[in-house]
Structure 1
Amino acid sequence: MIKKLDWYIIKKFLGTFFFAIIILAVISCVIDYSEKVDDFVKHKAPFLAVLNYFKNFMPYIVSLLYPLFIFIASIFFTSKLAYKSEIIAILASGVSFQRFLRPYIIGSAFLGVMALLCSHWIVPAANKQRLNFEDLYVHEHVNTADRNVHLRLTPGLYVYMQNYDYNANRGYRFSAEKIDGILLKEKVMAETASYDSVKKQWHLYNVTTRTNDGLHEQLKYATEMTQAYAFTPKDLKVNDDIMQAMTTPQLLDHIELLKTRGAETLNFYYVELHKRTSQAFAGFILTMIGACIASRKIRGGSGFHLALGIVISAVYIMLMQFSTTFSTKAGLNPLIAVWIPNILAGILAFYLYRKQIK
Structure 2
Amino acid sequence: MTIIDRYILKKYLLTFGLMLLLFVPIGIMLNLAEQVGKMIDNEAPLVEILIYYGNFTIYIGSLLFPIFLFLSIIFFTSKMANNTEIVAILSSGVSFWRFLRPYWIGASIIAVLMFMMGMFIVPSASKGYNEFKYKYLKKGKQDRDKDNIFNQLGDRDYLYVSSFDPERQIGYNFTYEHFGEDGKLDYKISAANIRWMEEDSVYRLTTYTKRIVEGETERLETRRRLDTLFAFQIDDLTPVSYIAETKNLFELNEFIRDQQRKGASNVNTYIMVKYKRWALPITAFILTVIGVAVSSVKRRGGMGVNLAFGIGVAFIYIFMDKVFGTLAEQSGFPPLLAVGIPNLIFGFIGYYLLSKAKR
> TM (normalized to structure 2)?
0.85
Distance across 1 between alignment mates of 2:194 and 2:54: 38
1:208 Cα deviation from its structure 2 partner: 4.8
Which residue number corresponds to residue 291 of structure 1?
Answer: 292
1:196 Cα deviation from its structure 2 partner: 7.6
Task: Give, as a single letter, the amino acid of the residue that structure 2 aligns with 1:209.
Answer: I
Distance across 2 between alignment mates of 1:260 and 1:50: 39
Alignment of 1:162-241 (within 5 A): 176-180=177-181, 182=182, 184=184, 186-187=186-187, 197=197, 198=200, 200=202, 207-211=210-214, 228-231=229-232, 235-236=236-237, 238-241=239-242
Contact 1:36 1:138 in 2 (8 A): yes
Match of 2:300, SS state, is: coil
1:133 Cα deviation from its structure 2 partner: 0.9
Distance across 2 between alignment mates of 1:136 and 1:339: 36
1:306 Cα deviation from its structure 2 partner: 1.2
Which residue number corresponds to residue 135 of structure 1?
Answer: 134
Distance across 2 between alignment mates of 1:162 and 1:290: 46
Distance across 2 between alignment mates of 1:323 and 1:86: 40
Contact 2:202 2:227 in 1 (8 A): no
Whether 1:246 and 2:243 are equivalent positions in the alignment is no
Which residue number corresponds to residue 275 of structure 2?
Answer: 274
1:103 Cα deviation from its structure 2 partner: 0.2
Distance across 2 between alignment mates of 1:294 and 1:118: 28
Deviations 1:303-343 (A, max 9, x none): 22111211211221122122212222343211111222211
Contact 1:282 1:342 in 2 (8 A): yes
Distance across 1 between alignment mates of 2:196 and 2:272: 35
Deviates most, 39-48 or 310-319: 310-319
Match of 2:212, SS state, is: strand
Deviates most, 292-301 or 54-63: 292-301
1:155 Cα deviation from its structure 2 partner: 4.5
Contact 1:162 1:174 in 2 (8 A): no
Distance across 2 between alignment mates of 1:337 and 1:256: 20
CA 1:237–1:348: 2 relative to 1, 3 Å: closer
Which residue number corresponds to residue 317 of structure 1?
Answer: 318
Match of 1:65, SS state, is: helix
Structure 2: where are the runs of 5+ without partners? none
Structure 1: where are the runs of 5+ without partners? none
CA 1:200–1:189: 2 relative to 1, 3 Å: closer
Match of 1:22, SS state, is: helix
Whether 1:93 and 2:95 are equivalent positions in the alignment is no
Task: Give, as a single letter, the amino acid of the residue that structure 1 aligns with 2:31.
Answer: D
1:231 Cα deviation from its structure 2 partner: 3.5
Distance across 2 between alignment mates of 1:342 and 1:265: 24
Which residue number corresponds to residue 82 of structure 2?
Answer: 83
Which residue number corresponds to residue 26 of structure 2?
Answer: 27
Contact 1:146 1:163 in 2 (8 A): yes
Which residue number corresponds to residue 36 of structure 1?
Answer: 35
CA 1:153–1:9: 2 relative to 1, 3 Å: same
Which residue number corresponds to residue 46 of structure 2?
Answer: 47
Contact 2:156 2:179 in 1 (8 A): yes
Distance across 2 between alignment mates of 1:286 and 1:173: 46
Which residue number corresponds to residue 116 of structure 2?
Answer: 117
Deviates most, 151-160 or 330-339: 151-160
CA 1:284–1:234: 2 relative to 1, 3 Å: closer
Match of 2:43, SS state, is: coil
Contact 1:326 1:332 in 2 (8 A): yes
Alignment of 1:62-77 (within 5 A): 62-77=61-76
Distance across 1 between alignment mates of 2:173 and 2:213: 18
Distance across 1 between alignment mates of 2:3 and 2:101: 12
CA 1:8–1:320: 2 relative to 1, 3 Å: same
Q: Provide the aligned length of Structure 1 versus Structure 2.
A: 351
CA 1:146–1:177: 2 relative to 1, 3 Å: farther
Contact 1:259 1:266 in 2 (8 A): yes
Which residue number corresponds to residue 327 of structure 1?
Answer: 328
Contact 1:195 1:201 in 2 (8 A): yes
Task: Give, as a single letter, the amino acid of the residue that structure 1 aligns with 2:330.
Answer: K
Task: Give, as a single letter, the amino acid of the residue that structure 2 aligns with 1:78.
Answer: T
Contact 2:189 2:208 in 1 (8 A): no
1:267 Cα deviation from its structure 2 partner: 2.6
Distance across 2 between alignment mates of 1:87 and 1:354: 16
Task: Give, as a single letter, the amino acid of the residue that structure 2 aligns with 1:200.
Answer: V
1:33 Cα deviation from its structure 2 partner: 0.6
Task: Give, as a single letter, the amino acid of the residue that structure 2 aligns with 1:92.
Answer: S
Deviates most, 40-49 or 96-105: 40-49
Which residue number corresponds to residue 259 of structure 1?
Answer: 260
Distance across 2 between alignment mates of 1:39 and 1:92: 60
CA 1:269–1:196: 2 relative to 1, 3 Å: closer
Distance across 1 between alignment mates of 2:129 and 2:203: 31
1:5 Cα deviation from its structure 2 partner: 0.9
